[in-house]
Amino acid sequence: MIDETRIRDWLAAYHHAWTTDVPGDVERLFTADVRYYTAPYQAPLVGVDAVAEYWLGERESEIPWSFEYQVLAQEGDLFVLRAVTTYPGGTRDAGEPEAFHNLWLVTMDGDRVSDFVEYFMPVPKEDAAAA
């Protein structure tokens, strides 16, 4: 049985930060030395300041989106999540509906994340409006 309390609390704070883009809300999510991987085979963002700068640069609090997730597994402080992120009007430069299937590897250190890896796959454009 997975104890989802820590990850659900963190995800609630993550969701809040995503809706506000307040620097302090973002910074409270991660350890000072966090490694945040935004794509496979790319170097991670390192440190909470780099993550906050990246996150706030996306300005996703200004566009509509939805996020649904399921916790798939836990091994110690590592949680594995499957999620779907939908942007009914698309992301900033898209101009049309977009949806992404996500797999996250989230390593907790207390109530903050020390290692965050996201893998995502865009839903084909013809299917994104229905996602």
The CATH number given to whatever domain includes residue 83 is 3.10.450.50
Q: Which residues contact 98 (CB under 8 A, 6 or more apart)?
A: 86, 87, 90, 91, 122, 123, 125, 128
Beta strands in 9-77 (DSSP E): 30-37, 45-46, 66-75
Give the range of the structural domain holding residue 67, as residue numbers without chain letter: 5-128
Total count of domains within the chain: 1
SS3 at position 96: coil
- Predicted pLDDT at 102: 94
pLDDT along the chain (131 residues), means of 10: 92 92 94 93 94 85 85 97 87 80 96 96 70 57
- Given the DSSP bridges, would you call strands 45-46 and 30-37 parallel, antiparallel or unpaired? antiparallel
Prediction pTM value: 0.89
- What pLDDT was estimated at residue 57? 83
Sign of CA dihedral 106, 29, 68, 87: negative
pLDDT per position as a tens digit, 28-48: 999 999 999 998 789 999 999
